């Protein structure tokens, strides 16, 4: 499972945001405006603004009288401001107040007769602008250049020197440079003018890169702060990708990383961060709370800025900026804090939650919904409005029309007419948004695939059981097809005995637990054994929870002993049918009626949950011979009985199958009988009168003599007969 962490500070800084919003506002009001140079170092944002009417002026000559011109966040030299004013430009100064503050520092230094040394990138617009607000100005990029500069201009060992640093420089580089300056110059005034937003972003990048296996830095190639971020990340992480947008992201490089960090330069908009993050969904990822916070915060911030803060925050920013600048003039270091306060004030304002959308389906709410942008990688839902042989068209409820080409519908390339109908609701992933055409190409199969892997991962995590068909057997085990995915089950996990032939599983439907999912390598491993064991456990538990006297089970005879048959009720749980419970007849051994492997319908006649013992009955209570006898005969009835056994004291006769009665020797005839065999023999069928029934002992007394004319009442013979019968051998 991969984890993605997005730096909370990733994305637009206050200054960049302010300049972009200024441009957006002007474009909205006037339909067109110019920026002096690229507004920010992000091609996508600038392209989008250009699409809305922004033009780029490279020099004051490009400007016509009265045109609105934005000075970008990096600022411009004083001479440029003057040239623009002279050209009749209607100026909108988006110079970041923090940069403006540096202008004031260097100007004051110049007025005091001090030279200025800027630590920063020589050709960077911000550095060029700073140099344009003072007189004698030099630039060094690193400690080596600082040494060279001081060697070249040894006078600065005592001459006044004002040192400032480009807002986006790293603290490390700045510290290394000033170490040299402090050592060699006695009259240097050093101002740490690194922007707080930059140092926060860099500190976070350091922490993140140290904790991650891979880092993705998003930013423009010409963006100094993004380049520095990538440098910082490379110092702490061996796998760093610097990309400008999602398409440049190489997922293969991230395949083996389990924790991936994302940070972004100050000129990277939240939607590009979101697209990069969405693309990573193709890797297996664990939702990161940091990301959620950062992405949502970025979204919310953007929304909030757009919807509520624009006017208020700008006013606040300008007012506070003014205040900060005044303070800066009074005391340089205090101004630094004031500038930070500016940022804080505006950022706090910007982070105010966006006003809640009206819950009703008001026209405004619906309009807002339709204007909502969608981005590559977003999950969307739409209603089918058209079906052709090549694509399905969807109403996404936004300004974009969605379409899913056949190839993106399912893996199998389903016939669209059969797969969907008009009005169906379909979810899909946005693959490509075309703003010019107002269309969004979607992929249902990619979403299905993501969900499928999600399901597998969830199954692996939660120990859930999936179903599949065994399609292949190989040296190490078998392959099970689970919804089109190949799941390998090692031989040891098949639940077959070691010596068994794995081929016997082929084409069988099996249940298995997913034990390993490696999406990057497309490897899924499962265990039939674990699923079977879990199933056994669950069934056993269910049995013990629900067992009750009389409950019936379909069982299989697993083993026989001389005293009973052990029957499996559910896998792993056996009960015993005592030999006496196997049949209504008399049995010497259970094997007379059942054998191992027989399937028996048994019922519970007793159980002990603690000792895990279950006694079972097999005889059908409805077939109880005594019941049958009692349903047919009463005392006084005459039955045709069969002599089954002769004893000294009388003859046992079968009245109904399984129920015998005794004809005492005294009841065999109307005269005295010396020996029982003198009157009847085994196998004879004779009529006998039922002269007594003992339901408790299930005994019957019969009399042939009672049927003979003029004979005395049978009751006289009963006590004697009973006593002898009690003394009869068991088998009688």
Q: Name which of 228 and 445 has its Cβ closer to ligand F3S.
A: 228
The one catalytic residue in 38, 126, 343, 581 is 126
Report, in Å, the least distance between residue 12 CB and ligand F3S. Answer: 8
Piece in contact with ligand F3S (CB under 6 A), picked from 193-201, 517-525, 560-568, 661-669? 193-201
Any contact of residue 13 with ligand F3S (CB under 6 A)? yes
Any contact of residue 14 with ligand F3S (CB under 6 A)? yes
- Give the whole-angstrom CA distance, residue 167 versus residue 459: 50
Any contact of residue 73 with ligand F3S (CB under 6 A)? yes
Any contact of residue 301 with ligand F3S (CB under 6 A)? no
Report, in Å, the least distance between residue 16 CB and ligand F3S. Answer: 5
Residue 405 neighbours by CB distance under 10 Å = 14
Any contact of residue 98 with ligand F3S (CB under 6 A)? yes
Any contact of residue 96 with ligand F3S (CB under 6 A)? yes
Any contact of residue 99 with ligand F3S (CB under 6 A)? yes
Out of 2, 9, 15, 137, which residue is the one contacting ligand F3S (CB under 6 A)? 15
Residues 238-277: x where in contact with ligand F3S by CB under 6 A, - otherwise, as a string: ----------------------------x-----------
Instruction: Please give the angle made by the CA atoms of 207, 213 and 215, to the nearest 5 degrees.
Output: 65
- Give the whole-angstrom CA distance, residue 507 versus residue 384: 38
Residues between 456 and 495 that touch ligand F3S (CB under 6 A): none
Q: Write out the DSSP string of 171-194.
A: HHHHHHHHHHHHHH-SSEEE----
Piece in contact with ligand F3S (CB under 6 A), picked from 96-104, 113-121, 308-316, 723-731? 96-104
CA dist 504 → 47, 469, 498, 508, 597 (Å):
63, 12, 13, 8, 20
Report, in Å, the least distance between residue 73 CB and ligand F3S. Answer: 4
Q: Name which of 18 and 284 has its Cβ closer to ligand F3S.
A: 18
Q: Write out the DSSP string of 241-295.
A: EEESSGGG--GGGGTT-SEEEEEE-TT--HHHHHHHHHHGGGS-EEPPHHHHHHH
Contact 644, 652 (CB under 8 A): yes
Least Cα distance to 667 among 710, 719, 633, 718 occurs for 718
- Give the whole-angstrom CA distance, residue 619 versus residue 424: 58
Task: Please say if 126 is a catalytic residue.
Answer: yes
The pairing of strands 285-286 and 2-6 is parallel
Measured at CB, which residue is nearest to ligand F3S? Answer: 15
Report, in Å, the least distance between residue 194 CB and ligand F3S. Answer: 9
Residues 421-450: x where in contact with ligand F3S by CB under 6 A, - otherwise, as a string: ------------------------------
Least Cα distance to 532 among 493, 504, 497 occurs for 493
The pair of structure tokens assigned to 449 is 């695939």
Q: Write out the DSSP string of 351-379.
A: HSPPPPPPSS--HHHHHHHHH----TT-E
Any contact of residue 49 with ligand F3S (CB under 6 A)? no
Residues between 687 and 726 that touch ligand F3S (CB under 6 A): none
- Give the whole-angstrom CA distance, residue 420 versus residue 407: 15
Residues between 209 and 228 that touch ligand F3S (CB under 6 A): 225
Phi, psi of 75 (to 5 degrees): 85, 170
Any contact of residue 16 with ligand F3S (CB under 6 A)? yes
Q: Name which of 18 and 445 has its Cβ closer to ligand F3S.
A: 18
Out of 198, 257, 449, 701, which residue is the one contacting ligand F3S (CB under 6 A)? 198
Piece in contact with ligand F3S (CB under 6 A), picked from 58-66, 92-100, 566-574, 704-712? 92-100
Place of tokens 């007379």: 592
Any contact of residue 195 with ligand F3S (CB under 6 A)? yes
CA dist 92 → 36, 77, 80, 152, 310 (Å):
10, 15, 13, 40, 15
Q: Which residues contact 639 (CB under 8 A, 6 or more apart)?
A: 633, 655, 661, 687, 688, 690, 702
Q: Classify the phi-psi angles of 138: left when phi > 0, otherwise alpha if psi is within -120 to 50, otherwise beta.
A: beta
Piece in contact with ligand F3S (CB under 6 A), picked from 192-200, 249-257, 597-605, 684-692? 192-200
Q: Name which of 204 and 495 has its Cβ closer to ligand F3S.
A: 204
Any contact of residue 197 with ligand F3S (CB under 6 A)? yes
Q: Name which of 130 and 304 has its Cβ closer to ligand F3S.
A: 130
Any contact of residue 168 with ligand F3S (CB under 6 A)? yes
Q: Name which of 114 and 226 has its Cβ closer to ligand F3S.
A: 226
Instruction: Label residue 153 exposed, middle or buried (CB < 10 Å: 0-12, 13-18, 19+).
Output: middle
Instruction: Label residue 317 exposed, middle or buried (CB < 10 Å: 0-12, 13-18, 19+).
Output: buried
DSSP state of 712: P
Out of 42, 68, 146, 167, which residue is the one contacting ligand F3S (CB under 6 A)? 167
Q: Which residues would be at the binding site for ligand F3S (CB under 6 A)?
A: 13-16, 73, 96, 98-99, 167-168, 195, 197-198, 225, 266
What residues are annotated to the active site? Answer: 126
């Amino acid at each position: 499972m991969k984890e993605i962490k997005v730096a909370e500070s990733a994305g637009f800084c206050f200054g960049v945001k302010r300049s972009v919003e200024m441009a957006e506002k002007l474009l909205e009001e006037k339909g067109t405006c110019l920026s002096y140079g690229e507004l920010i170092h992000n091609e996508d944002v600038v392209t989008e603004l250009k699409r809305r009417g922004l033009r780029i002026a490279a020099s004051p000559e490009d400007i016509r009288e009265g045109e609105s011109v934005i000075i970008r966040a990096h600022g411009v030299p004083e001479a440029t401001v003057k040239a623009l004013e002279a050209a009749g430009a209607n100026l909108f100064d988006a110079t970041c107040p923090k940069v403006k503050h540096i202008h004031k520092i260097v100007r004051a230094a110049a007025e005091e007769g001090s030279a200025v040394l800027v630590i920063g990138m020589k050709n960077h617009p911000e550095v060029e602008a700073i140099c344009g607000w003072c007189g004698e100005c030099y630039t060094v990029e690193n400690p080596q250049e600082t040494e060279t500069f001081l060697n070249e201009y040894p006078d600065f060992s005592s001459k006044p020197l004002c040192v400032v640093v480009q807002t986006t420089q790293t603290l490390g580089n700045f510290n290394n440079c000033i170490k040299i300056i402090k050592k060699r110059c006695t009259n240097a005034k050093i101002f740490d003018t690194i922007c707080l937003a930059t140092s926060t972003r860099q500190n976070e990048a350091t922490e993140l890169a140290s904790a991650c296996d891979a880092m993705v830095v998003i930013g423009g190639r010409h963006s100094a702060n993004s380049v520095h971020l990538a440098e910082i990340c490379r110092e702490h992480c061996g796998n760093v990708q610097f990309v400008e947008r999602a398409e440049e992201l190489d997922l293969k490089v991230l395949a083996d990383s389990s924790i991936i960090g994302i940070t972004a330069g100050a000129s990277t908009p939240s939607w590009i961060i979101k697209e990069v993050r969405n693309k990573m969904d193709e890797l297996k990822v664990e939702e990161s709370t940091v990301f959620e916070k950062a992405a949502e915060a970025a979204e919310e911030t953007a929304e909030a800025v757009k919807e509520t803060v624009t006017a208020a925050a700008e006013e606040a920013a300008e007012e506070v900026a003014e205040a900060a600048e005044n303070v800066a003039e009074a005391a340089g270091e205090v101004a630094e804090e004031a500038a930070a306060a500016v940022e804080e004030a505006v950022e706090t304002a910007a982070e105010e939650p966006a006003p809640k959308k009206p819950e009703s389906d008001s026209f405004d709410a619906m309009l807002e919904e339709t204007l909502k942008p969608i981005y590559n990688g977003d999950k969307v839902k739409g209603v089918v409005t058209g079906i052709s042989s090549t694509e399905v068209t969807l109403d996404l409820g936004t300004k974009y029309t969605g379409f899913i080409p056949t190839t993106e519908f399912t893996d199998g390339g389903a016939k669209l007419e059969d797969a969907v109908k008009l009005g169906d609701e379909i979810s899909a992933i946005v693959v490509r948004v075309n703003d010019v055409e107002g269309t969004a190409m979607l992929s249902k199969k990619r979403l299905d695939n993501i969900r499928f892997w999600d399901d597998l991962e969830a199954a692996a995590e939660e120990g859930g059981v999936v179903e599949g068909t065994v399609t292949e057997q190989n040296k190490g085990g078998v392959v099970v097809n689970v919804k089109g995915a190949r799941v390998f089950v090692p031989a040891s996990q098949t639940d077959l005995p070691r010596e068994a032939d794995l081929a016997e599983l082929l084409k069988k439907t099996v249940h298995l637990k997913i034990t390993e999912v490696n999406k990057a390598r497309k490897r899924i491993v499962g265990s039939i054994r674990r699923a079977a064991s879990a199933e056994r456990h669950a069934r056993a538990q269910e049995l013990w929870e629900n067992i009750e006297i009389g409950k019936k089970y379909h069982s299989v005879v697993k083993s026989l002993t001389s005293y009973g048959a052990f029957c499996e009720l559910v896998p792993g749980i056996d009960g015993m049918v005592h030999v006496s419970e196997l049949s209504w007849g008399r049995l010497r051994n259970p094997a007379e009626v059942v054998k191992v492997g027989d399937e028996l319908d048994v019922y519970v006649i007793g159980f002990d949950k603690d000792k895990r013992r279950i006694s079972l009955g097999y005889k059908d209570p409805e077939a109880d011979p005594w019941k049958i006898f009692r349903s047919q005969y009463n005392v006084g009835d005459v039955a045709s009985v069969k002599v089954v056994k002769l004893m000294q004291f009388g003859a046992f006769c079968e009245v109904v199958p399984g129920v015998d009665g005794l004809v005492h020797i005294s009841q065999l005839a109307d005269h005295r009988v010396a020996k029982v065999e003198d009157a009847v023999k085994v196998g004879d069928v004779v009529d006998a009168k039922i002269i007594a029934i003992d339901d408790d002992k299930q005994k019957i007394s019969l009399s042939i003599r009672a049927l003979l004319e003029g004979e005395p009442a049978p009751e006289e013979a009963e006590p004697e007969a009973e006593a002898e019968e009690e003394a009869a051998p068991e088998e009688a």
